[in-house]
A = this chain, B = another copy of it.
Amino acid sequence: MSDLRRPRVGHIEFLNCMPIYWGLMRSGALIDVELTRDTPVALNDALVAGELDIAPISLVEYLRHADDLVLLPDVAVGSDGPVLSVNIVHPRPLSDMDGGRVALGSSSRTGVLLAQMLISERLGVDVEYVRTEPDVPRMLRNADAAVVIGDVALRAKYEAPKQGLTVTDLGTAWRDWTGLPMVFAVWAVRREYAERHPGVVKDVHQAFTRSLALCRDELDEAAAAASRWEPFDAATLAGYFRALDFSLGERQLTGLRAFAAKAAERGEVPPLPADGPLLFQP
């Protein structure tokens, strides 16, 4: 018996977060949260506006609002090498694009910034950037390369090579550049919510870590269930889920800090404090 309300928790509807949903569902944890399923951009906005208490947020948006947020340890969406679903699709080599134009998919925050870092800092190529709807054929009609994420990017990974296009995996590119894993999204709690309801946040955090453990055990089952409704077969989905790194430990935090430092140098985000990011202590 309680006058507490359930924590308002966000969930990304993309395939890459399906393993987390699977585990939340199978463990029975959904009864303890008021779950809102939406796109990453909508969830980012809702968390920042205080309409959600706990939600996944793209790394760039987290860095922009780090003062108001506390990170949940152990859970993230990233990769330590190929991520398969954060891609640059391009007909000619990226190094030949000088003076050209790159279309940035509007559904991405962190992926498009990573692409810009790689193109300008690592490849030393100077291009113009335009923001567009994430539709690869339309993007390539008006640009030399298209940066896309999520299901659109995963489809491009398998289909673009048949059309003579090259797919540059941004998880691989970041690892080759820095030797580190890339973190694309983190789970954050509004700071004042974490201070007022540490016990609830602890329970939600435990639900996520249990969910991930359960999903690792049932990954093929989860992939088979998802393939009923998705344009990918069960084996492709299982391979995708295994490529993703859902952890946020010391190695991932080192990758996160390296990205944060580069993003701050570019003036895209405020610098992270020396002892940042602020982590929830479960």
Contacts and interface: CB of A to CB of B under 8 A. Distances in A.
A41 B21 CA distance: 28
B1 A31 contact: no
Contacts of A6: 229
A3 interface: yes
Interface string A187-223: 0000000000000000000000000000000000010
Nearest to A22: B31
Given A4-B228, A4-B229, A25-B25, 13 more contacts: A1-B227, A2-B230, A2-B231, A6-B229, A25-B28, A25-B30, A25-B31, A26-B26, A26-B28, A30-B30, A31-B222, A31-B225, A32-B228
Interface in A1-36: 1-6, 18, 21-22, 25-26, 28, 30-32
A227 to B, nearest CB: 6
Contacts of A229: 2, 4-6, 32
Contacts of A230: 1-2
A239 to B, nearest CB: 13
Contacts of A225: 28, 31-32
Interface in A22-60: 22, 25-26, 28, 30-32
A233 B22 CA distance: 29
A226 B18 CA distance: 25
A232 interface: yes
A1 B28 CA distance: 27
Task: Give the interface size class of chain A.
Answer: 20 to 34
Contacts of A26: 26, 28
Q: How many copies of this kind of chain does the complex include? A: 2
Contacts of A22: 28, 31
Nearest to A1: B233
A236 to B, nearest CB: 8
A22 B25 CA distance: 10
B1 A226 contact: no
Contacts of A18: 31
A34 to B, nearest CB: 9
A31 B226 contact: yes
Contacts of A233: 1
29 contacts: A1-B227, A1-B230, A1-B231, A1-B232, A1-B234, A2-B227, A2-B228, A2-B229, A2-B230, A2-B231, A3-B231, A4-B228, A4-B229, A5-B229, A18-B31, A21-B31, A22-B28, A22-B31, A25-B25, A25-B28, A25-B30, A26-B26, A30-B30, A31-B222, A31-B225, A31-B226, A32-B225, A32-B228, A32-B229
Interface centre among A25, A32, A225, A226 (most CB of B within 10 A): A25
